[in-house]
Amino acid sequence: MSAETMEKTTAEHVTTGHGTMRAMSQDVLGGPEVLKEVEVARPEPGLSEVLVRVHAAGVNPTDWKHRSREIFLGEPPFVLGWDVSGVVEAVGVGVTLFKPGDEVFGMLPYPHGVGSHAEYVTGPARAFAHKPTGIDHVQAGALPLAALTAWQALADTAAIRTGDRVLIHAAAGGVGHLAVQIAKARGAYVIATASAAKHAFVRGLGADEVIDYRQSDFAEAVHDVDVVLDTIGGEYQLRSLRTLRRGGLLVSILPFAAQGLAEEADRLGVRTELLLVEADHAGMKAIAELAEVGALRAEVAGTFPMAQAAKAHELGETNRTAGKLVLVMTATGGAGD
């Protein structure tokens, strides 16, 4: 197929028109106040992409970290957000999984596929799955990045199964509270760390034991676990190694090893893996199946209109919330529609 023919076919296949949309952008790195509502061109789907009208999008720690300092995205301007729940507006050439009007949810490719804190977003079709019919867009928008992180750590990397003893750190947090549910759904015995005020919440998720990390040294209290899910990094990685049985596995979602981690793991006869979450159609389908039967549900700590993204960032940075924060968009269209 010639380039000219492909271009014509793409134009015929895409049903959206040109227009503008609202988005939360920033021109500099800094505090929440750098987030500004702007009007920008509405994107159109390329080859193997879908255009999604965003109904809800989670806010994750990685959002406020990238807002405040240079990590993976470089210098602004950019629009943050990786979580998406919404409705397919148009599809690009080659897409067979979805049609306009389908409700979908997913995680944009991390990190460079960022941009869901807007009324519309494009992404690879296989970054998405059909939204479970039993949950709304706010619930679906809260799940993707955090649930995929937990799934890829526990199911894909650690391959936990019935009877495994699993230690999950920060079990009331965005990733942690979903990890507890995923581990229980796979038949694991779950030991969790959380502050005392959040013990009832974490037990309600299914944790078998909960340790107050402020009052007890988990590294002394926990022994012979098969898998540790580290959501904190740094010295927590080193201390967690002592809780593992020989041959056990530490999976850290902070993909930077503490100094001496490899050497200490080798000395103790345990293994370590550092994970960076990936867009994942199969993983999203597995998450959708768990959510559909009620085995996985995000705790939504708060919802905010898109224009109040700065308030969501402020609340998230207190580290006092249990669960997830979600932005809710209302796609009203813009000039040129």
Nearest residue to 197 via CA among 181, 220, 213: 213
Question: What secondary structure does DSSP assign to 110-151, as a single string?
Answer: TTTT---SBSEEEEEGGGEEEPPTTS-HHHHHHSHHHHHHHH
Q: How confident is the model at residue 39 (pLDDT cuts 50, 70, 90)?
A: very high
Residue 290 is predicted with a pLDDT of 98
Residue 319 is predicted with a pLDDT of 84
Q: Give pLDDT tens digits for 159-191.
A: 999 999 999 999 999 999 999 999 999 999 999
Residue 201 is predicted with a pLDDT of 96
Q: How confident is the model at residue 1 (pLDDT cuts 50, 70, 90)?
A: very low
Amino acid in the structure at residue 112 = H
Q: Give pLDDT tens digits for 278-336.
A: 999 999 999 999 999 999 999 999 999 999 999 999 999 998 888 999 999 964 333 33
Q: How confident is the model at residue 18 (pLDDT cuts 50, 70, 90)?
A: low
Q: Contact at 8 Å (CB) between 186 and 155?
A: yes
Q: Which residues, other chains included, contact 26 with Cβ-Cβ below 8 Å and sequence gap of 6+?
A: 34, 35, 36, 67, 76, 77, 78, 80
Residue 320 is predicted with a pLDDT of 85
More confident residue, 63 or 320: 63
Q: How confident is the model at residue 241 (pLDDT cuts 50, 70, 90)?
A: very high
H runs (alpha helix) in 206-280: 218-221, 235-241, 261-268
Nearest residue to 120 via CA among 48, 64, 63, 41: 41
Instruction: Write b or e for each residue in 98-123: b if 16 or more Cβ atoms lie within 10 A of its Cβ, otherwise e.
Output: beeebbbbbbbbbeebbbbbbbbbbb
Beta bridge partners of 255: none
Phi first, then psi, for residue 58 (nearest 5°) are -65, 155
Pairing of strands 271-274, 300-305: unpaired
Question: Average model confidence (pLDDT) for the chain?
Answer: 92
Given a cut of 70, whether residue 2 has pLDDT beyond it is: no
Percentage of the chain surpassing pLDDT 90?
A: 90
Q: Give pLDDT tens digits for 125-161.
A: 999 999 999 999 999 999 999 999 999 999 999 999 9
Residue 321 is predicted with a pLDDT of 86
Q: How many CB atoms lie within 10 A of CB 299?
A: 19
Residue 289, H or E segment: helix 281-292
Q: How many CB atoms lie within 10 A of CB 69?
A: 9
Q: How confident is the model at residue 197 (pLDDT cuts 50, 70, 90)?
A: very high
- The domains found in the chain, sorted by start residue, are 3-143+298-328 (3.90.180.10), 146-274 (3.40.50.720)
